[in-house]
Amino acid sequence: MSSKSTFSLVFYINRTKAKKNGECPVMLRITINGDAVALRLKRFIEPDQWDPVRYQMKGRTTVAKVFNDYLEAVRVRAHQKYNDLLMQKEEVLSTDLRDAILGINNAKVKMIIEVWDDYIASLKSLIGKETTYSTYQKNTTARNHFQSFLIKNYRSDDVSLKAVDHYMITQFALYLKTEKGCNHNTSNKFLQNVKKVTTMAIRHGWLLKDPFSGISLGMKEVVRPYLTEDELKSLMEFNSPFERLIRVRDFFVFSCFTGLAYIDVKQLRKCEIEYHEEKYWIRTRRQKTGGRANIPLLNVPMEIIRKYCNLEALNPEDTVIPILTNQKINAYLKELADLCGISKTLSFHVARHTFATTVTMMNGVPIETVSKMLGHKNINSTQHYARIVDQKVGEDMELLSRRLGTRLALAN
């Protein structure tokens, strides 16, 4: 609507439609940009009881109060419906508002939170089949952040999909970084969840313009900590009378030599450990991505398995590693790092990075092989984990120098 748009509501009585007892119907005149339409309300009043200046029943009796409270409720409802329509349409007509008040809109407007809730419900029904609990949880969190943003910035817990425009998306991104304290990558991950909903709406014809047009949702490179060989050795040689610290050390080292994330270690079952070609293998699907992970078990992780279970005695669906909760294990890892003289902030996921770098690639395992063991569907994902550090680059170039020898020498 233009900046000169006008909107007014006026209550009056229609004296030409008086009943036999003299009572006149109360009307509401809706005027938008000079276009007026009348709406008959479910109230009647005698002409001498009507206040034409204050547009309500005269007096302070209980009857007058109830009557005037009804008119005020109609006024509030009309304003709410008008604001809703402004969020949905480029131009609001007086007949649009009349129909909205009467509840006879031709088509129900699609609201983003309503559509999002349906999408989340479908995700929940597909957990363990086509999606994971983590995906469901992340979408739920993004949805809750977006609704909080709407309440704060638009004073509404839901808005029409047509109201979701480029400006709203940029303001939501700002809200995530300022109000919620999210960093660049976390903010963009939440925005990606929003984009899934708007893309679905575009495909269904509920949204005509892409609100993400021109908005980049790329991620910034993140420094992923990992243990050097000396740090890993220090951890493996650590001893303590406290069983909880030994357990945490063992479970962390198990991940350092298998590359499994916490949830995959927790859910590892006996049936996913196979004996093939004179060695044990872990053949599983990653909980996060569903990607296949095929990992030959080296001596160290096999010793840890034997330490905590009798593998042959387990049933196929029994879990193998009696791991602690993620919260506890990460808390104990910080204590373990201090005792081992490791200055890096340890979390269980550091073990996965350590497997990709120190244990495998630093020892000449090709990135394609590492990618398969990590269960990545795309080798680009592996490159984020398996960094080639300066030491490995130097070793590779020294090897190249020896291979070339004098075969490629500059003439004097």
DSSP string, 354-399: HIIIIIIGGGT--HHHHHHHHT-SSHHHHHHHS---HHHHHHHHHH
pLDDT confidence of residue 412: 60
pLDDT confidence of residue 385: 60
Structure tokens at 257: 């030599």
Q: With a cut of 50, which residues of the chain have pLDDT below it?
A: 1-3
pLDDT confidence of residue 363: 86
Closest CA to 67 of 103, 48, 41: 41
The pair phi, psi for residue 294, each rounded to 5°, is -115, 110
In the three-class reduction of DSSP (H, G, I as helix; E, B as strand; rest coil), residue 346 is classed as coil
Task: Tell me the domain boundaries of the chain.
Answer: 7-102, 112-204, 229-397
Residue 366 and residue 396 in contact, taking contact as beta carbons nearer than 8 Å: no
Gyration radius from the chain CA atoms: 33
pLDDT confidence of residue 2: 42
CATH of domain 229-397: 1.10.443.10
Q: What is the C-alpha separation between 259 and 276, in angstroms, rounded?
A: 20
CB proximity list for 213: less than 8 A, separation 6 or greater: 166
Closest CA to 262 of 327, 336, 306, 358: 327
Residue appearing with tokens 């119907």: 25
Structure tokens at 285: 């699907």
Alpha carbons within 13 angstroms on the beta-carbon side of residue 75 total: 13
Share of the chain above pLDDT 90, in %: 60
127: β partners = 131
pLDDT confidence of residue 1: 38
pLDDT confidence of residue 128: 79
Q: What is the C-alpha separation between 139 and 197, in angstroms, rounded?
A: 10
Strands 279-285 and 292-296: antiparallel
